[in-house]
Amino acid sequence: MIRKFIRYYKPHWKLFAADMICALMIAVVDLLFPMASRYAMQQLLPENAFGAFFGVMGALVAAYLIRAGFQYFVNYWGHVLGVHMEADMRRELFAHLQTLPFKFYDKNRTGHLMSRVVNDLFEVVELAHHGPEDLFISFLTLVGALGIMLAIRWELGLLILILVPLIVAFACWRRKRMSAASRKVKERIAGINADIESSISGVRVARAFHNEAYEMEKFNRGNEEYRYAKRGFYREMGIFMSGLDFLTSIMNVAVIAFGGYLIMRGRFDYIDLITFSLYVGTFLQPIRRLSSFMEQYTVGMAGFQRFQELLAVEPDITDAPDAHDLVNVRGEVDFRDVTFSYDEGVRVLSGINLHIPAGQTLALVGPSGGGKSTLCHLVPRFYELEGGQITIDGQDIRGLTLGSLRESVGIVQQDVLLFAGTILENIRYGRITATDEEVVEAAKKAEIHEDILQMPNGYQTYVGERGIMLSGGQKQRVSIARIFLKNPPILILDEATSALDTITEAHIQEAFDKLSQGRTTLVIAHRLSTIRGADQIAFIDASGIRELGSHEELMERDGAYARLYRMQFGSREEG
């Protein structure tokens, strides 16, 4: 885990090196002060060399001014280094999330993922900055101070060497408990974020069912778990810090006691004891710094570990090593013995065989849960096949690059998602490089242009979170405009007109009929009136494809499709 962490310093090694040089100079000044003070008290004052004495003092003032400059660099640029690393990690994580399949998002809550992308990595900044710096300064100061103390009086230096391992052993023992407590806190924060995200997204539903009290109770339950976990962490931290303070204070007492004994025996003098005490203070400073580092390391590495766990999730849908682009697409689509299940043992599709000639329209009808949407989502490889094969123009989709495959497939889904931006931005999402004129043309084809012109800011109108400022029909038509703008050779219309009124639906259906000409189209529809003109209609239920044929053929067969049709239209139409 540490090796993985260190590699994020590599792109910023120059800044890191400068930070370490400044840390080195800070440690040198800290080690210089007691020796300079000892020299001034032992050599200059007894000889009445007052000018030299104050010259040494002036040099120490200058040294501390320079030290302040180095400290500024460490505090400012060191934190900037941490921010750079945090941004790199967040960029890598976000890019990795873009590669994960729908199945991953089906099983993970948005709030948990948000916590890992934002909160966990925020903790890493302090560790990235203070970690190496604290370790470097502490090591230099400890080694330097210990060497000088052994030179001044080896007996006292040996006493320090005996006490330090006790302090280190205590720190290591308690750090493991702090680490476990910190991880629990991270998990509770992620849970709270997930609950908040869910509650805010569903606030209208909560109020519609008058469940505000239930949402508050659910939040309070998670909040109490977080508070309990945080208390546990602070308890461990309190034991760690107070125990460390006790041991370092005992070191001071032991030095004064043993130093006093040596003075009584005539083997030590007061100036050396003062100097030694100053070095003990210098020696204890990195120990306290290390204790603070232990807390940062515990919290930061807990966040980094969760970050690495998410990076370790391998995308199960990737380009094959010999994948090639899908070009000159005609749009002939074949399903051959296609089998799929979301979870082991729960089969959704089994042995599906379909042939869709290029430029034709296949309509999928049947009860909910029959696998219609799943079948369509397999074409752009949103999910990976469990068995069988899907080909486009005779080419297995698993041998095509994902980018070229998805560029060739356009989807209008039943559940419309608009981003929190303008109408112009949301339509242009269909093709990012489109001009304003092309966006307007797509809006006209989707029968939304006139509505947009009547809005306060036209195409610059803000649609709100998930498009909440627009009506259901307007949101659907904006999403349809995207597909007009993308203009792909293969279309998937998943209940694309479900939120539209009858009149608008008729206009949109005409536009779809025009768009479908010369393109392969898969249509999922519950309103059977919209798919009567399809080249083929497949009735799908839990048993698979029950019937396949044109509207007239299926009505003549008087099977499941005909019964469904009569349920919608009764005796008014008989085909």
pLDDT tens figures, 3-30: 888 888 888 889 889 988 988 888 888 8
Distance set, CA 168 to CA 68, 187, 229, 303, 449 (Å): 30, 29, 26, 24, 71
Give the pLDDT of residue 541: 84
Phi, psi values for residue 409, rounded to 5°: -120, 125
Residue 362 has pLDDT above 80, yes or no: yes
Residue 380 has pLDDT above 70, yes or no: yes
pLDDT mean across residues, the chain: 81
Region 489-497: mean pLDDT is: 81
573: left (phi over 0), alpha (psi -120 to 50) or beta: beta
| CATH code of the domain containing 175 | 1.20.1560.10
Residue 574 has pLDDT above 50, yes or no: no
> Is there a domain that residue 517 lies in?
no
> Is there a domain that residue 77 lies in?
yes
> Is there a domain that residue 403 lies in?
no
Q: Which helix (H) or strand (E) holds 424?
A: helix 423-428
> Is there a domain that residue 406 lies in?
no
Residues 41, 156 share a domain: yes
pLDDT band at 429 (very low <50, low <70, confident <90, very high): confident
- Looking at 469, 487, 505, which one is the last position of a domain? 487
> Is there a domain that residue 332 lies in?
no
Residues 289, 421 share a domain: no
- Looking at 456, 487, 518, which one is the last position of a domain? 487
Q: CA triplet 67, 132, 159: central angle to 5 degrees? A: 80
Give the pLDDT of residue 192: 73
Looking at per-residue pLDDT, the higher value among 251 and 486 belongs to 486
Distance set, CA 344 to CA 270, 341, 347, 386, 387 (Å): 79, 7, 8, 10, 13
Give the pLDDT of residue 356: 92
Q: List, for residues 532-560, the tens digit of each pLDDT value.
A: 888 899 998 877 888 899 888 888 888 88
The amino acid present at 482, given as its one-letter code, is R
- Looking at 277, 311, 345, which one is the last position of a domain? 311
Sign of the alpha-carbon dihedral angle for 202, 205, 206, 207? positive
pLDDT band at 393 (very low <50, low <70, confident <90, very high): very high
Phi, psi values for residue 149, rounded to 5°: -65, -40
d(CA 77, CA 83): 10
Give the pLDDT of residue 572: 44
Residues 32, 161 share a domain: yes
| CATH code of the domain containing 442 | 3.40.50.300
What's the structural domain count of the chain? 2
Give the pLDDT of residue 500: 62
Sequence-distant (≥ 6) Cβ neighbours of residue 135 within 8 angstroms: 290, 293
Residue 263 has pLDDT above 50, yes or no: yes
Q: 347 has which bridge partners?
A: 341
Determine the straight-line distance between the first and last CA of the chain, rounded to whole angstroms.
67
> Is there a domain that residue 239 lies in?
yes
Residues 424, 307 share a domain: no
Q: 537 has which bridge partners?
A: 363, 549
pTM for this predicted structure = 0.65
> Is there a domain that residue 496 lies in?
no
Give the pLDDT of residue 204: 58
Residues 419, 280 share a domain: no
Q: Give the number of other CB atoms < 10 A from CB of residue 240.
A: 21
DSSP 8-state class, residue 364: E
In terms of Cα–Cα distance, which of 300, 58, 332 is closest to 182? 300
Residue 75 has pLDDT above 70, yes or no: yes
Q: Which helix (H) or strand (E) holds 351?
A: strand 346-356
Token pair, residue 97, equals 């999330």
Q: Which domain holds residue 100?
A: 2-311
> Is there a domain that residue 388 lies in?
no
Q: List, for residues 440-472, the tens digit of each pLDDT value.
A: 988 888 878 888 898 888 889 888 766 777 877
Q: List, for residues 208-262, the tens digit of each pLDDT value.
A: 666 778 778 877 877 787 787 778 888 877 887 788 778 877 877 887 787 787 8
Give the pLDDT of residue 575: 42
